[in-house]
A and B are shown apart, each in its own frame.
Chain A
Amino acid sequence: EAAVTQSPRNKVAVTGGKVTLSCNQTNNHNNMYWYRQDTGHGLRLIHYSYGAGSTEKGDIPDGYKASRPSQENFSLILELATPSQTSVYFCASGPGTGQDTQYFGPGTRLLVL
C-alpha cells in the first residue's frame, strides 16, 4: 500500500506569516501533487512535480510556491498567508509512467487568522 504522510496535520497561522506544509512519500513515485479542498469545490490542483528539482503550476498556483528537494519530499509554501488560504490541503503521489492512480496523504487542515 502506498504511503504518503503530511505534516503538520493541523496548523493555525497569522495573516502575512509564512507557512510550510510538508509531504513525504515512500513509494518511489516520480510525480507528486498538492491539492486544496474547500466546501463546494472538488480537489483543486495547486502545484505538481515530475521528480526531484521540478515543480509545475497547477490550476490555482497564485499565492503558493512548491519545492521538491528529493524524490520523497514535496513542500507547499505560503510566503504571505491570507485568510482565503484557509483550507484542507492534500498531498498525493503517483507513478507518472502509464499509471494515473494517485495516492493521497491524510490532509493538513490550515486556518489562517
Chain B
Amino acid sequence: GDSVTQTEGPVTVSESESLIINCTYSATSIAYPNLFWYVRYPGEGLQLLLKVITAGQKGSSRGFEATYNKETTSFHLQKASVQESDSAVYYCALGISGGSNYKLTFGKGTLLTVTP
C-alpha cells in the first residue's frame, strides 16, 4: 500500500537556525501522487502548509519550501531561519484519487520545538 515516512521527532532547533524535516513516500497505486505538508499548532486542527502536484516543482509558504523529487521519492520540508511560532507538529502526506474519494495518507508527524 501507500506509505509516508518522515523524520522521527521530536526535533529541537534554536531560533534563526535552519530546519529540514525529511519525507519519503511510496505510492503503489499511482505513479505521481500529490504531495502535501500539513501543520498542527498546539490546540488547533491541521492546516495545509503547502501542496505540490507536479513532480519537479517546488511549493512554498510562510518561509517553508519543499520540492517534489520523483527520482528519490522525497518531499523534504526546509526553512532557512525558524521562529518560535513555527513550533508545531508537521505532517507529510500524499494524495491519491480513487474514484470520487480523494484519500490522504499521512506520515507519523514530526514535533518541532523552536527554542529562543
Mask for B93-114, Cβ within 8 A of A = 1, else 0? Answer: 1011100111111111100000
**Chain A 22-75 residues near chain B, CB threshold 8 A:** 30-31, 37, 40-45, 48, 50, 56
A-binding segment of B14-22, B41-49, B57-65, B68-76: B41-49
A100 proximity list for chain B (CB < 8 A): 34, 95-97, 102-104
State whether B102 touches A43 (Cβ < 8 A).
Answer: no
Q: How many residues of B contact A (CB 8 A)?
A: 26
CA A102 to CA B38, docked complex, whole Å: 10
Does more than half of chain B's interface fall in helix, strand or loop, or is it mixed?
strand
CA A31 to CA B100, docked complex, whole Å: 9
Q: Is the interface on chain A under 10, 10 to 19, 20 to 34, or 35 or more residues?
A: 20 to 34
CA A56 to CA B103, docked complex, whole Å: 12
State whether B101 touches A101 (Cβ < 8 A).
Answer: no
> If A40-B108, A42-B108, A101-B48 touch, does A56 touch B101 (CB 8 Å cutoff)?
yes
A43 proximity list for chain B (CB < 8 A): 46, 91, 104, 106
Which of A42, A44, A48, A97 has the most chain B CB atoms inside 10 A of its CB? A42
Please tell me if A4 contacts chain B, counting CB pairs below 8 Å: yes
Task: Give, as a whole number of angstroms, the nearest-CB distance from A37 to chain B.
Answer: 8
A48 proximity list for chain B (CB < 8 A): 101, 103
Please tell me if B4 contacts chain A, counting CB pairs below 8 Å: yes
CA A4 to CA B44, docked complex, whole Å: 11
Task: Give, as a whole number of angstroms, the nearest-CB distance from B53 to chain A.
Answer: 9
State whether B4 touches A42 (Cβ < 8 A).
Answer: yes
State whether B43 touches A42 (Cβ < 8 A).
Answer: no
**Chain A 87-105 residues near chain B, CB threshold 8 A:** 90, 92, 94, 96-97, 99-105
CA A42 to CA B45, docked complex, whole Å: 14
> If A43-B91, A90-B45, A101-B48 touch, does A96 touch B108 (CB 8 Å cutoff)?
no
CA A42 to CA B96, docked complex, whole Å: 16
Residues of A at the B interface (CB closer than 8 Å) are 4, 30-31, 37, 40-45, 48, 50, 56, 90, 92, 94, 96-97, 99-107
> Which 6 interchain pairs have the tightest Cβ spacing?
A100-B102, A42-B106, A104-B45, A100-B95, A104-B46, A43-B106
